[in-house]
């Protein structure tokens, strides 16, 4: 008797999930920009697709992606819309941050409702005064990307015993991330009137003498995740910087593709030939492609090596972290240069809002203004290469 076997369809990969959602994100790019935040129904689609949780294991509702796949997902979403890619990167990073909390607190804050993500800042612009059971927190933080759709908010604080700074054994002042929940306890200050990445809603947030329980905070200096896992053996600053860098890569990829499409139809005013027939244009688009892909290759080569290190159970070295800072800076700077090159080659077309190139140019520039991706990071890397102490607090 013949037997039949049923094949079980494989679940789509995280990258396939992102690619499937990308056309709907791209179609709403202008709406996202105009509203200066992600539409609620689009956020719901991102949640349903589990893209904010892409790096979490499946038993926590995630897609179980490794670090390289997670970064490629951010890149793919940013290719559809830079602001959405930035918010996905922020969401992924805050779920990683949640691993610092006790399991029951983590469940309460991050898994009690569908969105779960936090928005805020790791710059220590807050003051946390020790109080029974926790801290009295006051502060004003900038760049809380995604704060309009996030479930909760957070900010980094310097810790004080009364008016006296609380010091760690090495003499540094204690710095803690404090999570604010419910979100209504926090003031969101409408400040995000900017040139690029407008849809991220990266407004200021502030609290005044708000009590935050001890268990809703963690030390930034300990670098120890209570939830074990390979991803948590990488430094949080490194993962965040890579994610934001991949937004720049996605935007540049979209810009070059849009330019190539334009060049097949546009006849410049001073010519009778299509734009693509110009030798200088051909050389320029080739150079832009090389710049983008070489920067991307270096980034993924370095982060791939770090991933292999932690998979082997070893600790990431300071030289690896320095190499990653070099790679993410170089990739983001190259991506912006490539974007501006093709926008310039497009002529006046790229200055009109109806052209996607106009937005790509602005978004690409804003990516390079993030402190982990600015040109000045080359200096910090160069110092470590020559045996000097880094002058950057991010190492």
pLDDT at 229: 65
- Tell me, yes or no, whether 60 and 200 share the same domain: no
Mapped onto helix, strand or coil, the DSSP state of residue 300 is helix
Q: Is the pLDDT of residue 246 over 80?
A: yes
Distance CA 27, CA 267 (A): 27
Shared domain for 369 and 245, answered yes or no, is: yes
pLDDT in tens, 203-219: 999 999 999 999 999 99
Query: Residue 364 in 3-state DSSP?
Result: helix
Residue 279 counted as domain residue: yes
Query: What's the CATH code of the domain at 173?
Result: 2.40.110.10
Q: Which of 48, 66, 100 is the last residue of a domain?
A: 100
Number of domains in the chain: 3
Q: Nearest Cα to 111, choosing from 159, 63, 160, 152?
A: 152
33-47, 178-192, 232-246, range with the lowest pLDDT: 232-246
Residues 245, 189 share a domain:
no
Same domain? 136 vs 258: no
Q: How far apart are CA 204 and CA 75, in angstroms?
A: 26
Q: Is the pLDDT of residue 1 over 70?
A: no
Q: Final residue of a domain: which of 155, 189, 219?
A: 219
Residue 66 lies in a domain: yes
In the chain, what is the straight-line distance between the N-terminal and C-terminal CA atoms, in Å? 67
Both 260 and 380 in a single domain? yes
Query: Is position 4 within any domain?
Result: no
Is the CB of residue 274 less than 8 Å from the CB of residue 265?
yes
- Distance between CA 321 and CA 317 in Å, rounded? 6
Helix axes 279-311, 236-263, angle to 10 degrees: 160
Give CA separation, 103 vs 55, 60, 100, 312, in Å.
Answer: 17, 12, 9, 26
User: Which domain does 123 fall in, by range?
Assistant: 118-219
Asked if 378 and 265 sit in the same domain, the reply is yes
Q: Tell me the pairing of strands 152-161 and 164-165.
A: antiparallel
Please tell me whether residues 159 and 209 are part of one structural domain.
Answer: yes
Residue 6 included in any domain: no
95: domain CATH number is 1.10.540.10
Is there a domain that residue 228 lies in? no
Evaluate if residue 341 carries a pLDDT over 70: yes
Same domain, 299 and 379: yes
Tell me the residue ranges of DSSP E strands in 15-98.
none
Q: Using an 8 Å Cβ cutoff, are 89 and 74 in contact?
A: yes
In a domain, residue 112? The reply is: no
Total-model pTM = 0.94
């Amino acid at each position: 008797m013949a037997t039949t076997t049923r094949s079980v369809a494989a679940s789509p990969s995280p990258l396939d999930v992102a690619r499937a959602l990308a056309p709907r994100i791209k179609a709403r790019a202008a709406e996202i920009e105009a509203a200066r935040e992600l539409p609620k129904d689009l956020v719901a689609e991102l949640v349903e697709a589990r893209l904010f949780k892409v790096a979490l294991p499946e038993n926590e509702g995630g897609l179980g992606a490794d670090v390289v796949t997670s970064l490629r997902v951010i890149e793919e979403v940013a290719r559809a819309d830079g602001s959405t890619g930035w918010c996905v990167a922020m969401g992924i990073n805050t779920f990683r941050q949640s691993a610092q909390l006790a399991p029951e607190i983590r469940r309460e804050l991050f898994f009690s409702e569908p969105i779960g993500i936090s928005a805020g800042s790791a710059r220590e612009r807050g003051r946390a005064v020790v109080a029974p059971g926790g801290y009295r927190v006051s502060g004003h933080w900038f760049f809380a990307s995604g704060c309009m759709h996030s479930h909760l908010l957070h900010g980094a604080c310097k810790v004080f015993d009364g008016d006296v700074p609380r010091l760690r054994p090495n003499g540094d002042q204690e710095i803690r991330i404090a999570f604010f929940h419910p979100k209504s306890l926090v003031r969101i200050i409408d400040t995000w009137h900017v040139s690029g990445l407008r849809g991220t809603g990266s407004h200021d947030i502030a609290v005044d003498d708000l009590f935050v329980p001890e268990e809703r905070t963690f030390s930034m200096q300990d670098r120890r995740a209570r939830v074990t896992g390979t991803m948590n053996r990488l430094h949080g600053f490194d993962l965040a910087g890579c994610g934001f860098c991949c937004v720049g890569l996605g935007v540049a990829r979209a810009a070059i593709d849009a330019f190539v499409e334009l060049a097949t139809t546009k006849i410049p005013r001073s010519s009778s030939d299509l734009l693509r027939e110009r030798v200088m244009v051909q050389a320029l688009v080739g150079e832009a492609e090389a710049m983008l892909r070489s920067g991307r290759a270096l980034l993924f080569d370095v982060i791939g090596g770090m991933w292999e290190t932690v998979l082997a159970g070893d600790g990431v070295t300071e030289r690896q972290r320095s190499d990653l800072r070099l790679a993410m800076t170089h990739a983001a700077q190259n991506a912006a240069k490539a974007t501006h090159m093709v926008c310039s080659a497009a002529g006046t077309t790229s200055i009109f809002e109806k052209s996607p190139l106009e937005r790509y140019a602005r978004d690409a520039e804003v990516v390079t203004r993030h402190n982990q991706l600015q040109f000045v990071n080359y200096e910090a890397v160069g110092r470590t290469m020559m045996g000097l102490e880094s002058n950057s607090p991010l190492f």
